[in-house]
Every structure is written in structure tokens, then in C-alpha cells.
A and B are shown apart, each in its own frame.
Chain A
Amino acid sequence: MSQITRTTSDGNRPGTEIKTAPSEPIDRASARGKRRGPRPSLGAQFMSSTVLWVYAFIAITPLLLMLMNSFRTNQELATQPLGLPLSPDFSSYQRAWIEASFSTYFVNSLVVTIASVVLSTVVSLLAAYGLARSQSKVLQVVESIFVSGLMMPVYLMIVPIFYLLDSMGMVSTREGLILVYTAVSIPFSVFVLGAFFRQLPLELEEAARIDGAGPFRIFWAVMVPLVRPAIATVIIFRFVPIWNDFFYPLILIRDPSKYTLPVGLTSFFGEYQTDWSTLFAGLVIATLPLIVLFLLATKQIVAGLTAGMGK
């Protein structure tokens, strides 16, 4: 074990390093102190790189195969299970999109997800601000009731929700699903946004009030712009689970023209059992918006997942 112990540290926490790390000479400790603890031997470094690359391969290969196989014909898939889409064929997408009604499912998913995320974010913003800036004991109880919703099990609620929507004539409607998603999103969104509002100093509101702004004007013009990062986090962290959700629409949507993508997938997989490339195309269509969102907001997602977990 050839270990050189380094004791320099400029107090950099991981994640704050400068992105372009120059390669260092092996025999001299760098003065940057960015690596933590003793330097691993070269052999250990090589081993750890190998393990990480192997797992990266395991994590990503099925997704790449899903994408590649959607461009290959059934014949190619049958004769050569492993192969590259050398002559990409887009007809599977056409079949999934038009024949298998994925265009309908996609629009339904998009409408339901966007409407639920927008509606739940707006009502949660209002509620979080009201709770953060009030000092009554009653409202503290209201807040704990909201946050207790984080613990509510979906299986307990689903049957009563079904009959509630039934009595309102909202089974198999997008509006019904949107209202349910909005309601179940409130606990998380109020919790996150409330934490951010509480960090903001009261002087801002005082200054605005002295300038003659009313409470709603202060809220929209002063406070909401200040919690923009939190709003982005809440939007992403509600968009993904709602887009992917399967249980609620499986039970609350009975009409195929109102299916969201996950429910559409279940009937599609029964119907197109032998048309493999179309099945792959359907899976890609259901996943693509998330991958796009992820590539646009990786930093936000990784930061959000680990928020408050550092200590």
C-alpha cells in the first residue's frame, strides 16, 4: 500500500470543486486538497474505476437496448437478438403512435400531468406562504395536517376516492384525475415551499408594505420570484411521479380514450404481444419526455434528491 497522506485542505466540500480538474503528477500531493482522506493506491483507483464503469454499463444498457430495438424490425429481432439498428426503421413508431393510440395516451398524460403540477404548485405556494407568515396556533395544526399527508397510504384512500369521483360524475375524466393528483401533491409541495419561505427575512415584506403594496401584491411581486429555485424543485419532483403514476389511472379511468400512458401500456402489451419492435417503441414514447426533462435539469434533480441529507 503506497499511500501518501495529505493534510492540506482548503475546506472545499464535495460538489463545489472546480469542474476542470488538471491531472496531477502521481508523486506529489497537490495543494488543492480536494480529494478527501488518504490517496488510494493506483491499483485501488483502477479497480474503483472499473467497478463504476461496469455498473454504469449495467444501469444504462437496458435503456439503450430499448431505444435501439425500437428501430429494428421484428424479423431482425427474431434472427439477431443482439444487434445494432444498422438500417433504422421508424414504422414501429408509426404503429405505436397511430394504430395503438399512443397519440391519445400521450396527450392525456401531458394534459393531466401539466395541469396537476401547475394547479398543485399554485395552491401550495399560496398555502405555504400563508402558513409561513402567520403566527396562530390553529394554523400550525393546519400545517401539520397537510404534512401528515406525506404518510397517507394510497391503498387506504383509493376505494373511497373512486366512489367520491363516481358520485361527482368524474370517473374516467381527466378533471377528476387532475383534482386527485393535485390533492395528493399538496403535502410535499407545502412542506418544501414552506421551508423556503421561512428562510426569507421579514424586512422585504415590510419594505413593500411601506411602499403601499397589499398582501397579494407582495406575494406575487416580491415573494414568489424569491423562491424560484424551490418552485423548480417542486415542479420536477411532482412531474416525474405523476407522469409515471399507474395506480390512480388504472382504477379511476375506465374509458380507453382517457387512458394515460402507463394504463395505455397495459392494454397495449396484451394486444401487441408478438409485435416486439412496436412494444419497444411504445416504451420509448412513454419514457422520452422524462429523459428530456432529466437532461435539462440533472443538477436540480440530484440536488433535490439529496436536499437536507448532508448532515
Chain B
Amino acid sequence: MSTSVRVRKRQGVSGALPQRVAWLFILPAAVIFSIFVLYPMGTALTYAMFEWQGTNRGGFVGIENFLKLFTEEPYRTQIPRAFLHNFLLFGAAMIVQNSVGLFLAELLHRRKKFKRLFQTLFTMPYLVSPLVVGYLWSLMLSPLFGPVNAILKLIGLESLAQPWLGQPSTAIWVVVLVTAWQWIGFPLLLYGAALGGIPQELEEAASLDGANPWQRFTRITFPMILPIIGTVSVLTFIGAMEAFPIPYALGGSAGSPAGATDVMSLVFYRTSFESGATNAIGVSSAIAILLFLVIFGFSILFTRWFRRTERKLF
């Protein structure tokens, strides 16, 4: 950039578009976005404040619909249970999926051979539709012909074979593991990129000073990739809170068996589109807002906590 150009750019003469022309460029996207995203978002916030008779809006009721979530059946029992399962999904994803993802990324980034092949293989499940993944695993775990039980039989662990999706004690863990199986490529790639950004000299200096691999990981690698761990955690949280297709495919819209795989999105779906309750719109909008507040609130808390921790480290 020569200085003359920079001066002219500041005056908004040469490279920049005149405002009217810029508006012409933006118009088509602005129109579609306003009609199908901004307008629905605006009305959604008001929906929860009214009493509904089917699709006819009744009177203004303030926060009554929100209170119903905590006082009326079936919401009073279903919502805490569903939230518990969502948080379980998140906790298990952090422990299972993200730590295994980090471990694999660490192994992978030291390699030259087959690096691309491994990356490709690990990210394959991530591309498949979550609904297909859910249905595929329901077939894999079928008590009648499921390959999973067949493999257990093959290696002499037939006693472990069971109707995985048919009993409440195992069904939710199937949802957890299937979700982790699908998503592992995501933390793996992000961590891989972060590990690639760590200056090599740091590790070399540390090992010259006699640090063992574990010390090198805890004192150098971990602090260096903490920002990415923060990003992955927040995205994992949002994903766990909004989980829908995998639970739907594995346990149906009722969260079978006996509500053991029920999550918030299913509660919302049943309330809006299956319950037939007269005030379905009011209550389901309240559920959606509650879910949004939880996601938004926790995301901000996580982000702050990670920032504070980073500042402590450096």
C-alpha cells in the first residue's frame, strides 16, 4: 500500500463504494434475512408472554407460561430430568470426546506418515447426518442381529451382551457414546491446529532442561492451547444443550425407554408439535427461551472463566 492510496481511502473516494451502491449490494441478503430470521426472532420473544388458544393469541399473561414450566405437569417432572440429561451429555463429552480428541491430536501431530489418512478417517463420522448416525447405531446395537453383541460373543464376552437401547440404565450412555463417536473429529482437528501453532523451540528447550513428556505437556502444551480448549468447551456445551437428532433416532420423540433419553429439545418438540395442548405455543416458546437463557448464560460464564485462567497462567 503506498501512502497516497491510504490517504485516498480515508477520504472514501477511490476504492470504496458509494453508500447507495453498497446498499444495492446488501439489499437481497438483508431482505431475506429480515423476513426469515429477524422477524421470527422478534415475534418469538413475545409469543411466550401470551395465553394461546391453538393458533389464536389470547391475552397478555406476563411470565405465567414460565411459571407453568415449574409448577404444572408434565413439565415439572420432564424439564429437570431433560436438563439433567443435557448436562450429562456435556460432562461426558468433555471427559470422553474432548480428552480422547486431545490425546489423539497430540499423537497425530508428531507423525509424518499417514497423517492425512488418519485425519480423514477420524472426521468421516462427523460428516454423516446425526440422524443417520443414530439410526445406524440403533441397528448396530439391535438385540436380534446387532454386530456389537455379535462381536462381544466372538471375543468370549457374551455375558456383557444386552439390549443396550431397551433398558433405562444403558440407553443414555449409548446416546453419550454415539454422540462422542460422531463428534470426535471436531476437537481433534481444532486441537491439531492449535498444537501446530506452538513454537517448536519451547518443547526443545524444555527437554534440554530435562523435562519429561508429562511435564512438557502440563507446563507447555496445555497452557498454550488453553484458549482453544475454551472454544471447544463452549461449542461442546452448545452442541450438548441443543442435541436433537441422535436422541430422536435412538429413543424416539418420547425419549424411550421410560424417558431415560429425554433431552430439552425433545421436550420442546413434543410440547410444540405433538402435545395438542391448547396453550402449546405459549408454553413451548417459554421452554425455548429458558433453553436459550441457559445456553447463553453458561457460554458467557465459561468464556469468562477461561479468560481469567489464561491471565493467571501468563
Interface residues of A (CB under 8 A from B): 1, 3, 5-7, 9, 13-15, 17, 21, 34-38, 40, 48, 51-52, 55-56, 58-60, 62-63, 65-66, 69, 77-78, 81-82, 122-124, 126-127, 129-131, 133-136, 138-139, 142, 145-146, 149, 151-161, 163-164, 179-180, 182-184, 186, 190, 201-203, 205-206, 209, 215, 219, 240, 243-244, 246-247, 251, 261-262, 265-266, 269, 276, 279-280, 283, 286-287, 290-291, 294, 298, 301-302, 305-306, 309-311
CB distance from A48 to the nearest CB of B (A): 4
Q: Does B203 lie within 8 Å of A262, measured CB to CB? A: no
Distance in angstroms between the alpha carbons of A117 and B204 in the assembled complex: 46
Complex Cα spacing A1 to B215, Å: 15
Which one of B107, B147, B203 lies within 8 Å of A48 (CB-CB)?
B107
Flag whether B33 is at the interface (Cβ < 8 A): yes
Residues 261-300 of B, flagged 1 when their CB comes within 8 A of A and 0 if not, give: 0000100100011000000010011011101100110000
Asked if B95 is an interface residue, CB under 8 A from chain A, the answer is: no
A201 → chain B, closest Cβ, in Å? 7
Q: Is the CB of A309 within 8 A of B44?
A: no
A63 B37 Cβ-Cβ under 8 A: no
In contact, B189 and A302 (Cβ under 8 angstroms): yes
Q: A155-B265, A287-B132 are in contact. Are A186 and B32 (CB under 8 A)?
A: yes
Distance (Å) between the CB of A278 and the closest chain B CB?
11
Complexed CA–CA distance, A35 and B32 (Å): 50
What A residues does B301 contact at CB under 8 A? none
Contact A215 B21 (CB under 8 A): yes
For chain B residues 1-25, which have a beta carbon within 8 Å of chain A?
1, 5, 9, 12, 14-17, 19, 21-25
Give bound CA distance, A135 to B17, whole Å.
8
Can you report 29 residue pairs joining A to B where beta carbons are below 8 Å apart? Answer: A14-B109, A37-B110, A38-B203, A38-B207, A51-B107, A56-B122, A63-B128, A63-B136, A66-B136, A81-B150, A123-B29, A126-B25, A129-B25, A157-B37, A157-B40, A158-B272, A158-B288, A159-B281, A159-B285, A164-B40, A183-B35, A184-B36, A202-B9, A206-B14, A251-B272, A276-B142, A305-B186, A309-B190, A310-B194
Q: Which residue of A lies closest to B292 (CB)?
A: A153
Which residues from A are CB-within-8-Å of B28?
Answer: 122-123, 126-127
Encode B145-156 as 1/0 by CB contact (under 8 A) with A.
111011100100
Closest to B25 in A: A130
Q: Digit string of B60-96 for contact with A (CB within 8 Å is 1, else 0)?
A: 0000000000000000000000000000000000000
7 A-B pairs besides A139-B26, A202-B14 with CB distance below 8 A are A52-B118, A133-B22, A159-B284, A163-B55, A262-B131, A302-B119, A309-B190
Least Cβ–Cβ distance between B191 and chain A, in angstroms: 9
Contact assessment for A215 and B289 in the assembled complex, using a CB-CB cutoff below 8 Å: no
| Complex contacts, B17 vs chain A, CB 8 Å | 130, 133-134, 215
Bound-state Cα–Cα, A153 to B37, Å: 10
CA distance A32 to B18 in the complex (A): 52
Residue of A nearest to B197 (CB): A310
- When distances are taken between beta carbons in the complex, the residues of chain B under 8 Å from A294 are 120, 124, 127
- Tell me whether A153 and B242 are in contact (CB under 8 A): yes
Please tell me if B254 contacts chain A, counting CB pairs below 8 Å: no
Whole-angstrom distance between the Cβ of B170 and the nearest chain A Cβ: 18
